[in-house]
Copies of this chain bind each other. A is one copy, B any other.
């Protein structure tokens, strides 16, 4: 499904990584490891199509992603370092707007349920501005419950989350894998993705 061939990435004068080849199939995960500045975020953004690799290309279902943007974006859920919420809108409105721009029609009830599952039932009508760091992050992760997407690319999803929320998200990831989804993630807290889900660990090292 997701494949990458000969990816390399040069930033400034530094080669972050070179000649990375990947092949990820349904139900498999890829866990990126590496110190701060190793190039994990850079790789995830390349896989998501948000930035271009210096060399190599990313394939989705055997075709380069640049040639099938709409299809690829349909199948992709990317959650990055950013909070990614409009501070003036409530969580409900934020999610509503995102889904509608993705071409989905999601009922208010569905959104309410997703937020409830992320423990935000009481916060759904507050503007995102006043929420705590962790609540914002939870709100954003609620997208994963609303949008059917085969491939999840998550950049440090556990950041700012408390222990309960981390456990919730882990369950979510496992369920996604179990249902045949693909998962690419990075985190400094090693995730527990269940023993039976097959996957890979890719270790990036900091360029010296």
Interface of A is mostly: loop
The docked-state distance in angstroms from the alpha carbon of A39 to that of B188 is 25
Contact of A165 among B36, B131, B135 (CB under 8 A): B36
CB of A138 closer than 8 Å to a CB of B = yes
CB distance from A43 to the nearest CB of B (A): 11
Q: When the two chains form their complex, are residues B134 and A36 in contact, meaning their CB atoms are under 8 A apart?
A: yes
Bound-state Cα–Cα, A36 to B138, Å = 9
Nearest Cβ on chain B to A103's Cβ, whole angstroms: 31
Tell whether A36 pairs with B188 under 8 Å between CB atoms, given A12-B126, A159-B160, A160-B156.
Answer: no
CA distance A134 to B35 in the complex (A): 8
Interface-central residue, A11, A36, A165, A208, by most chain B CB under 10 Å: A36
Number of this chain's copies in the assembly equals 2
A48 to chain B, nearest CB (A): 16
Whether the pair B162, A123 counts as a contact (CB closer than 8 A) is: no
Known contacts: A37-B123, A126-B12, A159-B159. The answer to whether A133 contacts B164 by CB under 8 A is no
Give the interface of A toward B (CB within 8 A).
11-12, 34-41, 81, 119, 122-123, 126, 130-135, 137-138, 156, 159-166, 188-189, 208
6 tightest Cβ-Cβ pairs between the two chains A and B: A36-B134, A37-B132, A35-B162, A37-B135, A36-B162, A162-B188
